[in-house]
Every structure is written in structure tokens, then in C-alpha cells.
Structure 1
Amino acid sequence: MSSTDRPTAAEDFAGYLRAYHSDAIDGDEPVEEVWDRYHLPHGTHRVNGRVWDRKKILSSLRSRRSLDAPFELHLHEVIVEGRRAAARYTIGTPMMWKLQSATDAAVFAELAEDGRVVRTDAFSSTRPGWSGTGERDSFDGAARPAPGTAPAPPPVAGAEPTPAQDPAHYLRAYYAAGYDPAVPAAEAHDRFHTPDALHQVGGKVMQRSGVLKALEDERKRGHVYPVEVHETLREGNRFAARYTTSRDGKSKRSQEVFAFGEFAPDGRVRLVRFLLEPGYGAA
């Protein structure tokens, strides 16, 4: 495939992720040419809250190439809204026997007029794993919007928005009710989630009983988590959001969170994954 055959991020964001990683890791072109093919040279890029300049990005690409090791890209979900896109994926690297190094990643991107990426905010966390286990490449199937799912209707003036109308409202209102001792924890959960909703916080999957216990434990400690939403995207019944929260509003406990979720037909959330910056222990 020639460089002219490769999709831009604006044409096909999933195709861009696959082509970019293939060229950057397996290719033999200079990494500068690979990076500039898919990204504006002087765009803004952050990884786990820290700015990565062009020099650091290119150095990271050269370092990955120097391993001379194959990679597996498992693309879990992609959401595109206008000139913005978000994706969640895993990159696996074989180490020995069936042991792998797995990097869980997510990215929010802004797309330039020429189709390249001009801005990214990314999450990255590397862990050991085993070949053949874990979440596989699911974007081409289950990660697409459910058939027949219509966009959310516009909010009625003066009315309280439902979660389906606004992912930002879901996050703000759920955090506020969830940590408010005046609201029963079960009511706070069920107002925004279906009874069988799954929550994944970091690598831990919780159902309703686990979420209620976590809320009650934080309430006993008197903790609250104010939320500042930076951006949200929605495509069909799926949404992505990037926001910051902090324990009791203290800046030293500030935490950027990437969330990917799915709405049920009644507007409540039936699946949500919260990706936390590495090293941060609060839910």
C-alpha cells in the first residue's frame, strides 16, 4: 500500500489508527515522515496529562521500532462527531512464550481541514498480559452503534436533560447524586443506570452491588468528587467523554478520566468504562 492509499483521520479514523501504527512500528520510512503523514507537524499532544512535543514523540517512535518486535492492535471502539474523534484500543507486544506487554490506550482527537490530526489528548497504561486473553479487536462488530439507534432529540427549553441527551449532564449529575448522603445510593445508581449496567473502573469490573458498596464507602469517608467536563462525543447509542475530577475538590488529587459508555433505549447508561491515569487509586 502506497502512502497515498492510506486514509486520513478525517476519512476513516479507525483506518488511520491501524495504518499509522503499522507505518510507525513496522514501517521502514523515517518516523518524521510517518508522523507528518497523519498529523500536523506543530499540533498539540498530551499523554496522561503531560504535553509531548514533537521531539519526544519521535523519540518514542524510534524507541518502539528499536525493539524490532511484532505488535497486535486491538481496536475496541471508535466514536466520531464532526471533526472530533475518540477511540479506545490495546497494543500487545509479545515478550516470551505467551507473555505479552499490553498497552491500554485511548485518544481524543481534533481533525484539521486537510484531514490530519491537529490535537490529541491520550491515555496510556502498560501492563503484563497473556496472549489470547482479554478484550480483542471488537470495533468492526459490537462497538458500532446499535442498528436503528437514533440521535438524541434536542433538549426542550427549560426541561431537565436526560442522560441520553447529554453525556456531560450524566457525568455531572451522577457524581453529584452518587456522593450526596441525602440521596440513597441505590436511587443515585438506578436514576442513571440500568439494573444490569456494567462499570469498569481501571481494570476492575463492577455490577450494581459493587458500585453501591463503593459509593457507600466513599460517603462514609465524607468524600465528594466535583466534575469538570472537557469534551464529549456521541455517535448513535455510544458516547465518550474526557473530564477531570478530584477528591473533595483538592487540586493535588486532580484526576483526568476518559470514559466510554453506551446508552440503553430508556436513556440510562448500560455500560461505562472509566480509564484512570496510571498510579491514581481513587474511583
Structure 2
Amino acid sequence: MSTTHRPTAAEDFIGYLRAYHSDAIDGNDPVEEVWERYHLPDGPHRVNGRLWDHKKIMRSLRSRRSLDAPYELYVHELVVEGDRAAARYTISTPMAWKFQSATDAAVFAEMAGDGRVARSDAFSASRPGWAGHGGSAPSDAAARPTPGAVPAPPPADGAEPTPAQDPAHYLRAYYAAGYDPAVPAAEAHDRFHTPDAVHQVGGKVMQRSGVLKALEDGRKRKHSYPVEVHETLREGDRFAVRYTTSRGGNPKKSQEVFAFGEFAPDGRVRRVCFVLEPGYGAA
């Protein structure tokens, strides 16, 4: 067993992601030992909405290590609030020439008193791709909030909060207005987003015109997406939200979504990435 210090999730969450994946994929220590080095052994861990027990986690780690293949880890987003953190990242594995297998991942985690991860909710989806980072900044520095960002002041008594003051309010109100035929689609978008806001939905990048078309198409089909927010994090001008939505409130069409966004100085959202299965259709 190596005595080299590895950062805990509480000390440095990006450092934890890198050290954990390095030890789990490239290391020689037993995977059980690697897992408990960074995580409480009995903490709850969910992947794509399903609880993974210790046996399944170990099987997954052994399977990945058995590939004996190099990998590249790119951290795109990080939001830390107190003893919780949320991150979005990509793990790419070269296959042949410039062709790669890429795993898009996101995680919401809570840290224990000793710095290890006590529980986590994660998203993971693999896709074919090309060498590189898929258009997302590979630099860890890009995952940090804008320096000097100051949250907007709280609303006056009885006033409705702006999106910048409450990420959960932003999601609930935007979904409600976006699919309300009584509210013009352009108004629904511009109330919550800057005109040049960029949306990334299930891997598809859209600007204002694309979002408006998606909203109009959903309205024609009489779609609605009630939102149940599970947790939110805010750090500077960045936010992360884990929530569940469903088409028309139908449990059979429910989808857990991880959203990562950035607020503009006026309180509206100027960039938001919805991490979900491609083709689900949330906007």
C-alpha cells in the first residue's frame, strides 16, 4: 500500500476525482481498498437513479481496470457549497486512431467528517467520439466560479425571487412558463435567460432560436414537465441542481436531470447544461 498523500473529496474535489480514478484504473491496490480510501464503505451511492451496492461497485471497478487501457479525464464544471460538491466531467479512452469511447459523467456528493465521500448521486453515459474534449474546456481552472462573483441581494419581503437568488425557483418557474401556451415562448425564455444564453441539453447545444423552437414543438404536443428539485448548490455565479421531471407528470416518463449553470449579473442565466439521456427532450 502506497503512503503517498491523496487529496480527500473535502480537501480538493477535482484532486479527489483525479486521484480516485488514477488509483482505481491504473493502480495496483485492491479495488476494495481504493474505494474505501476515498468513500465511506457503507454510504449510499446511486448511478443513473439506481442504488449500487458494494458488490456492484466492485464489479464495475474490476471491469474497468481489466481493460488495461489509457484514459483522459476532463473536468468541465465544479460547484462546492459547504460539505457538498457537484461536478461534470468526461472520461475518454482511446480505441483506434483518433476514435475514442467517451463517458459523460456528473456527480453530486456529500462529504463525511473525515473528508471522504459519504454519499453520491451520479450520472454516467458512454458514447463514441473523437480525440479531444468534445468542445468543453479541459482546464480544471475553467471549472471554478468567476472570481469576485457576488450573489444578488435577497428579495424584499413578499417579492418573487429572481433566478440568481434561487436556482430551484429558476427551474420550476422556467419549466412552468416555457410550456404554458398563455406565455409567449420568447417571453418565457428571455425572462430567465440572457438573449445570448447557451443551452446544452443531453449533449445538444442550442442558442435562443433553437430553444424557442423546442418550446414551441413541446407546446404543440401539449407537453408539460413538472419539476421536483432534490438538491441545489451555489458557489459564486455558478450553480448545480439535481432534480426529476416527467412528461405530463407520468411516472413512466420520468427522468433525473443534473443541471449546471452560470448566472449573469442581472440575475438571469447565461449558460446552462442539462445532463440527461440524449433524446429525452427537456429544454
| 1:196 pairs with 2:190 | no
Gaps of 5+ in 2: none
State how far apart, in whole Å, the 1-side matches of 2:88 and 2:199 are: 16
> Equivalent residue of 2:57, what SS?
helix
For 2:208, the equivalent position in structure 1 comes to 208
> For 1:185-231, what per-residue CA distance to the aligned partner results, in whole angstroms no more than 9, with x for missing partners?
00000000000000111111111011011101111111111100100
State how far apart, in whole Å, the 2-side matches of 1:71 and 1:184 are: 46
> Equivalent residue of 2:107, what SS?
strand
For 2:165, the equivalent position in structure 1 comes to 165
> For 1:18-51, what per-residue CA distance to the aligned partner results, in whole angstroms no more than 9, with x for missing partners?
1000000000000000000000000001111111
Q: Is the 8 A contact 1:72 1:93 kept in 2?
A: yes
For 2:144, the equivalent position in structure 1 comes to 144
Deviation at 1:175, TM superposition (A): 0.4
Change (3 A) 1:179 1:136: closer
State how far apart, in whole Å, the 2-side matches of 1:194 and 1:188 are: 11
Change (3 A) 1:139 1:157: farther
Deviation at 1:140, TM superposition (A): 2.8
Paired amino acid for 1:144: R
Paired amino acid for 1:31: V
For 1:54, the equivalent position in structure 2 comes to 54
Change (3 A) 1:70 1:137: farther
> For 1:220-264, what per-residue CA distance to the aligned partner results, in whole angstroms no more than 9, with x for missing partners?
111111100100101110100000011111111111111000000
> For 1:55-98, what per-residue CA distance to the aligned partner results, in whole angstroms no more than 9, with x for missing partners?
10011000001000011001111110001100000000111111
Superposition TM-score, scaled by structure 1 size: 0.96
For 1:23, the equivalent position in structure 2 comes to 23
| 1:11 pairs with 2:3 | no
> Equivalent residue of 2:223, what SS?
coil
For 2:92, the equivalent position in structure 1 comes to 92
State how far apart, in whole Å, the 1-side matches of 2:50 and 2:280 are: 15
> For 1:132-155, what per-residue CA distance to the aligned partner results, in whole angstroms no more than 9, with x for missing partners?
351355353333211221134334
Paired amino acid for 1:124: S
Greater CA drift, 152-161 or 230-239: 152-161
Change (3 A) 1:122 1:94: same
Q: Is the 8 A contact 1:78 1:139 kept in 2?
A: no
State how far apart, in whole Å, the 1-side matches of 2:102 and 2:144 are: 23
Paired amino acid for 2:220: K
Superposition TM-score, scaled by structure 2 size: 0.96
> Equivalent residue of 1:104, what SS?
strand
For 1:39, the equivalent position in structure 2 comes to 39
Q: Is the 8 A contact 1:246 1:255 kept in 2?
A: yes
Q: Is the 8 A contact 1:48 1:277 kept in 2?
A: no
Aligned identity (percent) is 81
Paired amino acid for 2:59: S
Paired amino acid for 1:190: D
State how far apart, in whole Å, the 2-side matches of 1:237 and 1:3 are: 38
Written as runs of structure 1 = structure 2, the 5 A alignment for 1:1-283 is 2-132=2-132, 134-277=134-277, 280-283=280-283
Change (3 A) 1:93 1:178: same
> Equivalent residue of 1:105, what SS?
strand
Change (3 A) 1:209 1:31: same
State how far apart, in whole Å, the 1-side matches of 2:219 and 2:281 are: 16
> For 1:94-125, what per-residue CA distance to the aligned partner results, in whole angstroms no more than 9, with x for missing partners?
11111110000000001111110011100111
State how far apart, in whole Å, the 1-side matches of 2:101 and 2:256 are: 24
Paired amino acid for 2:116: R
Paired amino acid for 1:115: G
State how far apart, in whole Å, the 2-side matches of 1:244 and 1:136 are: 25
